[in-house]
């Protein structure tokens, strides 16, 4: 009896059909839950973000770091966005991509690139955005180095009291002729903003020699938006000083000003809105002075 019962149960099931059915059912179940009606996407972590969303996230991390300078917090946040990546390279790549795709139009865009660079550059990472938008130099006057100038010495008027022989006046032969400055011979001596509704958004460039006299004919190059540039010469405005040249900025852009052979970081100025003393709205203007370096 026991044998016949066992046989009857075995005869009631087709194991092959059961396995095939289970496989089909499992596949159908997974297709339904993964494709047709997946779990609603609610608890996404930063590492699951798309490239564009991750860029937004990393930009926010960089801006936050630029404000609070909390590196550990920034590292934690970046690791959440790229747990299996070199986070500094990831930041450098994003900065590079933003420059390549032209996201450097507004002041905000430029601040973003700067913030990203502030984050990755000290950690040894590098990218194509390196140094493109350096942080502007602080608006302070650089103390110019004292230069000897051949001022004519007046012969003292005759007096009744005996005097020592007058000092030998400096003659023209003692003054070395001004030569064309060598490469890298200029230093930035002044970078200061001002707001004037009559002179809105002007970069006033002045180039001096080591004696403090204006130098005409020096080519000045202004660059903006990464690749846009314009060159002009000092001394073309007869009504102004010999070493003077100016450039009108477009509001909302950042510009770098450089001279040939000026090897330091070119000063960056931003055409940001300002309110002039007369209460009118204007765009910030700048005084940018260069002076020939005294050896």
Partner 1 sequence: MSRRTLGSLLVGILLGLSTGVFLGWGPFPVEYKNSALSALAPHYQEEYTVMVAEGYRYDPEVNAALERLRPLGKENTIAYVIDLTERYISQSNIRAIPIMVALVEAIIGADNLPPVMQLYRPTLTATSPAPLAP
Q: Tell me which residues touch partner 1 (CB under 8 A).
A: 11-35, 38-39, 41-46, 48-51, 53, 56-57, 59-64, 66-68, 77, 80, 106-108, 111-112, 115
**How many CB atoms neighbour CB 219 within 10 A?**
13
Beta carbons of 113 and 133 less than 8 angstroms apart: yes
Nearer to partner 1, 110 or 245 (CB): 110
HSE on the CB side for 42, CA within 13 Å? 3
Three-state SS string across 206-274, please? EEECCCCCECCCCEEEEEECCCEEEEEECCCCCCCCCCEEEEECCCCCEEEEECCCCCCCCCEEECCEE
* CA gap 260, 266 in Å, rounded: 11
Nearest to residue 77, comparing CAs of 68, 4, 205? Answer: 68
To partner 1, the closest distance from the beta carbon of 55 in angstroms equals: 10
Distance CA 220, CA 26 (A): 73
DSSP 61-76: HHHHHHHH--HHHHHH
- Min CB(59)–partner 1 separation in Å: 7
> Considering the complex, what minimum distance in angstroms separates the CB of residue 47 from partner 1?
9
CB of 101 to partner 1, least distance (A): 16
Distance in Å, CB of 61 to partner 1, minimum: 6
For residues 224 and 271, give the distance between their C-alpha atoms in angstroms, rounded to a whole number. Answer: 11
- Residue keyed to tokens 């006299």: 213
Question: Closer CB to partner 1, residue 137 or residue 294?
Answer: 137
Work out the number of other CB atoms within 10 angstroms of the CB of residue 46: 17
């Amino acid at each position: 009896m026991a044998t016949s019962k066992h046989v009857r149960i075995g005869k009631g099931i087709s194991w092959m059909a059961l396995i095939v059915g289970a496989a089909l059912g499992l596949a159908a179940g997974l297709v339904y839950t993964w494709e047709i009606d997946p779990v609603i996407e609610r608890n996404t972590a930063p590492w699951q973000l798309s490239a564009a969303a991750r860029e937004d996230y990393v930009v926010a991390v960089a801006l936050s770091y630029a404000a609070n300078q909390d590196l550990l917090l920034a590292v934690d946040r970046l690791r959440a966005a790229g747990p299996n990546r070199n986070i500094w390279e990831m930041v450098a790549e994003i900065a590079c991509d933003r420059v390549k795709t032209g996201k450097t139009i507004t002041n905000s865009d430029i601040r973003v690139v700067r913030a990203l660079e502030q984050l990755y550059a000290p950690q040894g990472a590098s990218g194509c955005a390196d140094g493109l938008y350096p942080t502007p130099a602080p608006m302070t006057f650089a103390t110019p180095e004292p230069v000897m100038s051949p001022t004519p010495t007046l012969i003292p008027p005759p007096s009744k009291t005996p005097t020592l022989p007058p000092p030998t006046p400096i003659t023209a032969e003692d003054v070395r002729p001004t030569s064309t400055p060598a490469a890298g011979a200029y230093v930035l001596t002044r970078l200061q903003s001002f707001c004037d509704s009559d002179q809105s958004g002007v970069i006033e460039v002045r180039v001096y020699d080591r004696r403090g006299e204006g130098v005409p004919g020096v080519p000045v190059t202004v660059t903006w938006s990464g690749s846009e540039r314009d060159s002009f010469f000092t001394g073309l405005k007869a009504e102004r000083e010999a070493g003077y040249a100016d450039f009108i900025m477009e509001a909302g852009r950042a510009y770098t000003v450089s001279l040939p052979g000026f090897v330091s970081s070119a000063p960056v100025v931003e055409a940001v809105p300002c309110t002039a003393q007369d209460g009118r709205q204007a765009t910030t203007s700048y005084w940018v002075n260069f002076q020939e370096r005294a050896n």
